[in-house]
Amino acid sequence: MYIIGSDEVQLLPSNRERGVVDFSIENLYMQEKKVELIAPAGDMTGLITALKGGADAVYFGAEGYNMRAGSSNFTPADFPELKRLCTIYGAKGYLAHNTIIYDGEQKKMTQTVLAANQAGIDAIICSDMAVIEAARKAEIPFHVSTQASVSNYRAVKFYADLGATMIVLARELTLEQVRHIIGNIKSDRLNLRIECFVHGATCVAVSGRCFMSQELFGRSANRGECVQPCRRQYIITDPEENEELELGTDYVMSPKDLCAIEFLDVLVDAGISAFKIEGRSRSPEYVQTATTAYRSALDFCTVHRSDPNFRSEYSQLTIKLKKELALVYNRGFSEGFYFGKPFDAWTREYGSLAEEKKSYIGEVKKYYPKAGVAEFLMYAGTLKSGNKLSILGPKTGVVTCIAETFYANDQPATEATKGDNVTVKCATVKKNDKVYRLEKRP
């Protein structure tokens, strides 16, 4: 942690040991200007996909103690490999350790934090004070999760005094409230960055602190086990008149997904330091599409923000990017609370409104790098000329291609079915990668 005085910056031992050498005030505020894109990694395929998509950082969970218990997650034994991959791509790795912690879990939690520090993980994302204390003792940076519902500057200052290096603000704040907090941070010259969500699922409860899943199914959302009962249809009964209403047309507890890509430039101008994409439980295609879309938008803002035609050019770009985002899992899109309490914020259907669906069709058997051709065996469904393919794997991430022409059983073909051996041109993939057919929903 940096402590900024009137004319010098004091470097505490934990950062000195991490090799920070330029600790001038000017350098600290130069670092502020680089906006970080943080993408989700629910498993190794998601991790590689996010890194290839251009994420500046990825966030991932360890088994237990994170808000996505349903994701594959990682173990402390995976941390060195995670860090190695992040380093290759010039990205940071953040461990989400952001559930509430019980007394019987203190030892394992502390061991996980120590393992993250030993592996060189860049920060712990947390909200429970026990995890904050463990991170401080381990001398690993910590970020305050949105689960802490930090909504005002006094709370920001409290966590900054504890040593937080980043705070993920409550999702219920307006842009004006975010600006006010950032203005105070700069006035007080705190070495603290502010992170906000820009895309993905939102919760009907304040900052995701919901008790409905626990009440109905005994699975706590605050322990990462939410089964999302809020997304379902319900029958409302009037006991006096014995009348029933079916809440299916309007899913009144199921908010649309946040999508801030159309006004990302406004968030950059507000001084937000990091933008987070939600989605550790979503598909690799979602991670790829969301990460590359926001990477494109953020890069365009960085390069062209001062251009006289920026607004119209950025609008054209984001119209295209939003259409791509609509192809993958979503519940419809909302601006969230950035411009005040949202209207028409509830999804109209159960499940995903993605305009594209995928169907499993096979598995890669071999890749020929000189020819740029993948060979895969069809296990299900059909493949037709012109179909879009998605190929997934823990070392590949996501590779998409169009099967304009392909071979089936060593013969030129326009269609292949179960049992056929198919070869098609695509980017590099690996043996055992899964092959899916992507198609527009009717």
Q: What is the pLDDT of residues 34-46, one digit of tens each?
A: 899 999 999 999 9
Residue 376 neighbours by CB distance under 10 Å: 28
Average pLDDT over residues 387-409: 95
pLDDT at 235: 72
Residues of the chain with CATH 3.20.20.110: 34-203+255-334
Whether the per-residue pLDDT at 22 is higher than 90: the answer is no
Whether the per-residue pLDDT at 354 is higher than 90: the answer is no
pLDDT at 26: 38
- Residue with the larger pLDDT of the pair 434 and 223: 434
For 135, 156, 183, the CA distances from 164, given in Å and listed in that order, are: 10, 9, 18
Tokens representing 406 are: 């392909």
pLDDT at 73: 72
Q: 144 with 131: CB under 8 angstroms?
A: no
Average pLDDT over residues 333-361: 80
pLDDT at 403: 94
Q: What percent of the chain has pLDDT over 70?
A: 79
Q: What is the mean pLDDT of the chain?
A: 85
Backbone angles phi, psi at 33, to 5 degrees: -75, -20
Whether the per-residue pLDDT at 3 is higher than 90: the answer is no
Confidence of residue 205 (pLDDT cuts 50, 70, 90): low
pLDDT at 98: 86
CATH class of 34-203+255-334: alpha beta
Average pLDDT over residues 92-106: 92
For 13, 58, 173, 353, the CA distances from 254, given in Å and listed in that order, are: 47, 27, 19, 13
In this structure, is the dihedral angle defined by the CA atoms of residues 116, 163, 207 and 32, taken in order, positive or negative? negative
Q: What percent of the chain has pLDDT over 90?
A: 66
Give domain 356-440's CATH number out of 3.30.390.30, 1.10.287.610, 2.40.30.10, 3.40.50.300: 2.40.30.10
In angstroms, the CA 387 to CA 91 distance is 33
Beta bridge partners of 4: 9
Whether the per-residue pLDDT at 31 is higher than 80: the answer is no
Q: What is the pLDDT of residues 277-327, one digit of tens each?
A: 999 989 999 999 999 999 999 999 999 989 999 999 999 999 999 999 999
pLDDT at 15: 32
**Eight-class DSSP state of 256:** P
Whether the per-residue pLDDT at 81 is higher than 60: the answer is yes
Which distant-in-sequence residues (6+ apart) come within 8 Å of 65 by Cβ? 97, 98, 99, 101, 105, 109, 112, 131, 224
- Residue with the larger pLDDT of the pair 75 and 247: 75
Site of tokens 């409230």: 177
Q: What is the pLDDT of residues 191-204, one digit of tens each?
A: 999 999 999 987 66
Q: What is the pLDDT of residues 409-428, one digit of tens each?
A: 999 999 999 999 999 999 99
pLDDT at 34: 83
Q: What is the pLDDT of residues 61-72, one digit of tens each?
A: 987 665 555 556
pLDDT at 440: 87
Q: What is the pLDDT of residues 115-141, one digit of tens each?
A: 999 999 999 999 999 999 999 999 999
Whether the per-residue pLDDT at 30 is higher than 50: the answer is no
Whether the per-residue pLDDT at 78 is higher than 70: the answer is yes
Average pLDDT over residues 139-160: 95
Tokens representing 243 are: 């009348």
Residues of the chain with CATH 2.40.30.10: 356-440
pLDDT at 388: 95
pLDDT at 206: 57
Confidence of residue 256 (pLDDT cuts 50, 70, 90): confident
> HSE (CB half, 13 Å, CA atoms) of 350?
9
Confidence of residue 5 (pLDDT cuts 50, 70, 90): very low
Quick one: which of 3, 98, 8 has its CA closest to 60? 98
pLDDT at 9: 30
- Residue with the larger pLDDT of the pair 337 and 2: 337
Residue 435 neighbours by CB distance under 10 Å: 28
Q: What is the pLDDT of residues 206-255, one digit of tens each?
A: 555 565 656 556 666 555 666 666 666 777 777 777 777 666 555 566 67
